[in-house]
Amino acid sequence: MEFEHTNRVIVLVDMDCFYCQVEEKLNPFLVGKPIAVVQYNAWKGGGIIAVNYPARDKGVTRHMRGNEAKAKCPNIVLVRYLKVHLLLQTITRYRDAGKEVAAVLQAYTPLLERASVDEAYMDITDAVNERLLNEHPITLEQLRNTHVVGCNTQDFLDSFKYEHHLESNLKLCMGGIITEEIRAAVFEKTGYKCSAGIAHNKVLAKLACGLHKPNQQTILPQDSVNSLYETLPLRKIRSLGGKFGCNLSEDLGITTMKELQQISENDLINRYDDKTGSWLYKIARGIDLEPVTVRLVSKSIGCCKKFPGRTALVCCEDVQYWVNELSNEITERLNRDLEENNRKAKHMVVGFVNEINRRDVSASRTHPLHSYDAEKIAADMLKVVNKHCLNSNGYYRIKYLGISAGKFEDCKKGYDISSYFKSGDKEANTQSVKPEYNLSYFFSKIEKHGAVNETSMDTKEALQEESNNLEESCNSNDSIYKNQNLFDDQDVKSDNLEAIYEADTVMIDFPETNDDNTKYETKIQTSFTDVLSLVNRDKDSESDSITDEILNNEDKDDNSKANTSSYFSHYFKNVESFSRNFDTSKYLDVSNNEVETSSPENDEIIGGETFGNSETFESTNNTNLILIFKIMRQHLVKLLIMTRKEKCKECNKQILKTDMTSHMDYHFALQIVRNEAHLYNNNSTSAISNPPKKTVEVKKTKRKRSEITSTKLTTFLKSNTQEVVNVPTETCPHCDKNIPNTEFASHLDYHVAKKLHLEINSLLKDNTKTAPVPKNINKTKQKPKQGKPPSVIAFSSKIRN
DNA sequence: CATTTGGAAGAT
DNA sequence: ATCTTCCA
Ligand SMILES: Nc1ncnc2c1ncn2[C@H]1C[C@H](O)[C@@H](COP(=O)(O)OP(=O)(O)OP(=O)(O)O)O1
Ligand SMILES: [Mg+2]
Ligand SMILES: [Mg+2]
């Protein structure tokens, strides 16, 4: 009947200015205003990665700097992308929102391919064929937001009255109707708007989707391809947007798809390879047979960080710090993935770019991944980095670090060997608490990031700024919190932070609890930014108070109701109860169910009612907001507490107060070692020399480049970097680092001291601990603080061997 | 010097 | 296994 290439009906759904929409849903006061999501605040107002449509109208685009955007559009709201903790990261929200959308799409076809965080291909051929048996695409109403390439929608519908109409177009038409339904469902269930393209293959569906945005959809009939191709630049076709597309255009002296169509298949195959040539030939005729391959979860999970220009990592503390950051983050994400998808990554790839003699040298190395152990991962990563990036002078010049885990394998479901090793006491109970929902775990992360070392100024500054803004907002004249002394300078500046912290602890009574002690701390899973933007609404806004605005929003029509309700439910569904000392998973289960299985009815509940089991909250919004502020302040005070320093009597260094105990342990251990160094400092294993492996010089891809500045700069740098050379070194058997000979003995001391330190700590803190427990739920508490101790930090997994 | 960060797939 | 290309 029909040709193979017009059999399928493929839909590409792409969310409109996705990150912005997520932020708008979170904070309805942003709706209607020009906003952009900005990342990397350290330079020129940050880089913009998403722009909503009002802001686009003013000429703001991706790639712009925050400052430029402000210039083009003075009242733009720049939403900052925070990276403090996985649960606070905005990208986590975007990922979760993407999953939410995918879940809606999945109801329409099993043939769903998630192509990025905000788009997915769907093969809805079956659904179309089925509905065509019983229905006829009839009314224009059903295609209200649908465009048809090459003709208007009504004409498209009318064409089916004729005997000779294209069967394939009828399929697309029905595809359009189904897609309208899909998009309506996405909006209804998630509050997000999207656009879609409907065609017979993926490339055309993607192309069509971009033709009418936002919140619209486009059918691209096969018999309209040629008219569309008439002036269509090659680069608009997926996979021709990069170098190859450029080459193609240059090689053949063409710019449009129409021109490509005029090249013979042989020419194309001769010039390129078989596969490429025939793909080009076909796509020039609107043919693309690539199937929609079912994929709902990613094949790899990774994170990376660039250190451009002068920010390149030089000393081992910096490298250690960032290696730890990356390995902590990837471990957390892998653990979430394990719970969500019941699978484990079996290997990881460590990548880096290092500058050697002014050349960027990049390489990546794969490494088996046996367990999700942040310390082990950090140690392995560091080993790779040290092997390739540590210069003979003991320094680095690292411009990029990355780690990615992949080769996922499904977990066996019946048998968990780790439970066999578990001591059969209470530990087994607490095991069922998700680590990220454990309060002490959560706070330990805040602590860690509060107690950042000097290298992470970004984080520190970001937090400081947030805190300043919050304080300012609370004290601003029109703030309803003005008289509530939420931030009393005296208290904060006094040394009584703990008292404030204590006072801010929000207590909640849970009537359902059979336990006599019904006091729980609360946590809130959001970032400061959310609350800030709530308070920091535009000064020229008409409303008089925050309360007014909230109430007004709630009173609005159905359209904004979805947003309002989700806004509050976002906050309050995440206010959960915890105890420090016993299993709270039963409460968590309750709240989780509420979140995950939220049905349409639940979605209509607004405000305080979404508290679920926490009914004893005051249900006026005013009180709720004060609650949020208290929680936020507690975070901030906590942060302040964690960053207070004190001079160490032993070494005169500024040590974080919270680290002082373990820091003194360190001195204690060090003293022992110095006294008895000869007992420990004996055998050292010789390093095994491996054959050198390949590294690659990164090619400069800059189009415009002033040779002169480049040369100038290089000569400058050269004289700078060659000061320190050729210090005689020896490789440390514990950490594989090259240590200057003069420091080698004390370096070994350090490792032994570290080991003693760990042993002492474990004796002091945990004498119930029996021999080899493979995974300890308390592990995060036991982790030695990293950072301050002098010179080199060892990776403790190595020491245990 | 400086979009950044994340992910998939193809080439070698 | 490692590197390159393309994309969001
Ligand atoms: N180069 C990038 N770097 C980092 N994040 C990006 C980049 N490009 C896009 N993103 C993120 C932010 C976007 O909101 C999200 C989806 O991208 P994309 O669909 O291309 O644009 P968009 O959804 O913001 O607008 P549109 O309405 O045009 O689809 O991915
Ligand atoms: Mg999009
Ligand atoms: Mg997209």
Q: How far is the CA of A116 from the C1' of B8 (A)?
A: 9
pLDDT of amino acid A689: 54
Residue A183, number of CB atoms within 10 A of its CB: 24
Alpha-carbon separation of residue A750 from A673, A760, A801 (angstroms) = 9, 15, 16
Strand B within 7 A of A209 CB: no
In angstroms, the CA A575 to CA A607 distance is 13
**Cα(A271) to centroid of ligand 3, in Å?**
32
Strand B within 7 A of A353 CB: no
Strand B within 7 A of A328 CB: no
Specify which of A1-15, A332-346, A617-631 reaches the highest per-range mean pLDDT: A332-346
Ligand 1 atom, smallest distance to A53 CA: 27
Residues sharing a CB contact under 8 Å with residue A734, sequence separation 6 or more, in sequence order: A748, A751, A794, A798, A799
Check whether A389 has a pLDDT greater than 50: yes
What is the DSSP-derived secondary structure letter of residue A617? S
Strand B within 7 A of A84 CB: no
In this prediction, residues A460-471 reach a mean pLDDT of: 46
Q: Are A54 and A33 in contact (CB under 8 A)?
A: yes
pLDDT of amino acid A693: 79
Check whether A682 has a pLDDT greater than 50: no
| Percent of chain A clearing pLDDT 90 (strictly above) | 47
Between A393 and A430, name the one with better pLDDT.
A393
pLDDT of amino acid A89: 78
Ligand 1 contacts CB of residue A16 (under 6 A): yes
| Closest nucleotide relative to residue A347's CA, C1' based | C1
Residue with tokens 């190395």: A365
Q: Nearest protein residue to B2's C1' (by CA)? A: A308
Between A351 and A775, name the one with better pLDDT.
A351
Residue A230 annotated as catalytic: no
Q: How far is the CA of A488 from the C1' of B5 (A)?
A: 39
Peptide bond into A790 cis (omega under 30): no
In this prediction, residues A11-24 reach a mean pLDDT of: 97
Ligand 1 atom, smallest distance to A51 CA: 24
Residues by chain with Cβ below 5 Å of ion ligand 3: A 14, 118-119
| Closest nucleotide relative to residue A696's CA, C1' based | C3
Of all protein residues, the one whose alpha carbon is nearest to atom 20 of ligand 1 is: A17
Three-state DSSP at A268 gives helix
For strand B, which nucleotides have at least one atom less than 7 Å from a protein CB?
A: 1-9, 11
Between A201 and A42, name the one with better pLDDT.
A201
Q: How far is the CA of A172 from the C1' of B11 (A)?
A: 36
Q: How confident is the model at residue A702 (pLDDT cuts 50, 70, 90)?
A: low
Alpha-helical runs (H) found in A61-143:
66-72, 90-106, 125-134
Active-site hit among A23, A119, A355, A447: A119
Q: How confident is the model at residue A248 (pLDDT cuts 50, 70, 90)?
A: very high
The model carries a pTM of: 0.65
Q: How far is the CA of A466 from the C1' of B2 (A)?
A: 24
In angstroms, the CA A484 to CA A477 distance is 12
- Token pair for residue A498? 């703990």
In angstroms, the CA A191 to CA A198 distance is 22
Strand B within 7 A of A567 CB: no
Q: How far is the CA of A696 from the C1' of B12 (A)?
A: 14
Q: Nearest protein residue to C7's C1' (by CA)? A: A239
Long-range CB pairs of A256-265 (<8 Å, 24+ gap) are A256/A229, A256/A230, A256/A231, A256/A232, A257/A229, A257/A232, A257/A233, A257/A284, A258/A226, A258/A229, A258/A230, A258/A231, A258/A232, A260/A234, A260/A284, A261/A226, A261/A229, A261/A285
Q: How far is the CA of A309 from the C1' of B1 (A)?
A: 4
In this prediction, residues A640-661 reach a mean pLDDT of: 58
Neighbour-count burial of A705, counting CB atoms closer than 10 A to its CB (0-12 exposed, 13-18 middle, 19+ buried): exposed
A617-629: burial string, b at 16+ Cβ within 10 Å, e else: beeebeebbbbbb
| Closest nucleotide relative to residue A14's CA, C1' based | C8
Q: Which residues pair with A654 in a beta bridge?
A: A647
In angstroms, the CA A676 to CA A678 distance is 5
Which of A12, A13, A16, A19 should be mutated for ligand 1, with most atoms under 8 A from CB?
A19
pLDDT of amino acid A647: 59
pLDDT, tens digit, for every residue of A728-784?
444 454 454 444 443 444 444 444 444 433 433 333 333 322 222 222 222 222 223
**Cα(A187) to centroid of ligand 2, in Å?**
14
In this prediction, residues A359-363 reach a mean pLDDT of: 96
**Cα(A555) to centroid of ligand 2, in Å?**
30
- Token pair for residue A141? 């109403």
Ligand 1 contacts CB of residue A214 (under 6 A): yes
What is the DSSP-derived secondary structure letter of residue A231? S
Check whether A52 has a pLDDT greater than 80: yes
pLDDT of amino acid A652: 56
Ligand 1 atom, smallest distance to A119 CA: 19
Q: Are A556 and A607 in contact (CB under 8 A)?
A: no
Average pLDDT, chain A: 68
pLDDT of amino acid A407: 98
pLDDT, tens digit, for every residue of A571-623?
223 322 221 121 222 222 222 222 222 233 322 222 222 222 222 222 223 33
Which of A14, A35, A39, A56 should be mutated for ligand 1, with most atoms under 8 A from CB?
A14
Ligand 1 atom, smallest distance to A118 CA: 16
For strand C, which nucleotides have at least one atom less than 7 Å from a protein CB?
A: 1-8
| Closest nucleotide relative to residue A65's CA, C1' based | B3
Ligand 1 contacts CB of residue A551 (under 6 A): no
**Cα(A611) to centroid of ligand 1, in Å?**
33
What are the φ/ψ torsions at residue A143 (nearest 5 degrees)? Answer: -120, 45
**Cα(A413) to centroid of ligand 1, in Å?**
37
Q: How far is the CA of A52 from the C1' of B5 (A)?
A: 20
Ligand 1 contacts CB of residue A17 (under 6 A): yes
Ligand 1 contacts CB of residue A49 (under 6 A): yes
Strand B within 7 A of A800 CB: no
pLDDT, tens digit, for every residue of A293-337?
999 999 999 999 999 999 999 999 999 999 999 999 999 999 999
Strand B within 7 A of A305 CB: yes
| Closest nucleotide relative to residue A403's CA, C1' based | B6
Strand B within 7 A of A711 CB: no
In this prediction, residues A98-124 reach a mean pLDDT of: 98
| Closest nucleotide relative to residue A244's CA, C1' based | C5
Ligand 1 atom, smallest distance to A19 CA: 14
Q: How far is the CA of A334 from the C1' of B11 (A)?
A: 29
pLDDT of amino acid A574: 30
Q: How confident is the model at residue A643 (pLDDT cuts 50, 70, 90)?
A: low
- Distance, C-alpha A144 to centroid of its chain: 36
**Cα(A404) to centroid of ligand 1, in Å?**
22
